[in-house]
Copies of this chain bind each other. A is one copy, B any other.
Amino acid sequence: MTEISLQRLEFSLDPKSGVPFYKQVILQVEMAIADQRLTQGDQLPTVRSLAVDLRINPNTVARAYNELEIRGIVTTQQGTGTFISDKQIELTAVQREEVLAEMSKSFISKAYSYGFTIEELIDYLEELGRDGGQ
């Protein structure tokens, strides 16, 4: 696929969304990993620098990073920084299929409650896939 964009790592918060800041940060880190803007071993912005960037309290950033660490998505080294972890969840093919089915069903149900069709979902995911492609 063609290299459309070399998106930098850029966080932003939407205070009106009702989504807590720390969850927005978590989500954006996960998204960055999902579309390869962040990969194993990459360092995240420091707690303090991201806090300044986003104009929020360092504790809030720390909380997001902490939760990411508990989930095994990042690892931190005191005094050094926070890095994307290299750990991957290992599942059997059957378990993988089960997880995928359950996740997808719940995604579709939710989307359906908002009036979206499966086609719209697929179109949107394809768009994301193209934009975020490596």
Question: Which of A's residues lie within 8 Å of B, judged by CB?
Answer: 2-4, 10-12, 14, 17-20, 23, 27-28, 30-35, 37, 57, 67, 70-71, 73, 79, 88-89, 91-92, 96, 99-122, 124-126, 128-129, 132, 134
Report copies per complex: 4
Q: Which residues of chain B come closer than 8 Å to A28, judged between CB atoms?
A: 113-114
List 29 interface pairs A-B (beta carbons < 8 Å), by A numbering.
Answer: A2-B108, A3-B105, A4-B112, A4-B118, A11-B113, A12-B110, A17-B19, A18-B18, A19-B102, A30-B110, A31-B109, A31-B115, A34-B108, A34-B112, A34-B118, A70-B71, A89-B113, A91-B114, A91-B115, A92-B92, A96-B114, A100-B120, A103-B111, A104-B121, A107-B107, A118-B129, A119-B129, A122-B129, A125-B125
Q: Which residues of chain B come closer than 8 Å to A71, judged between CB atoms?
A: 70, 113
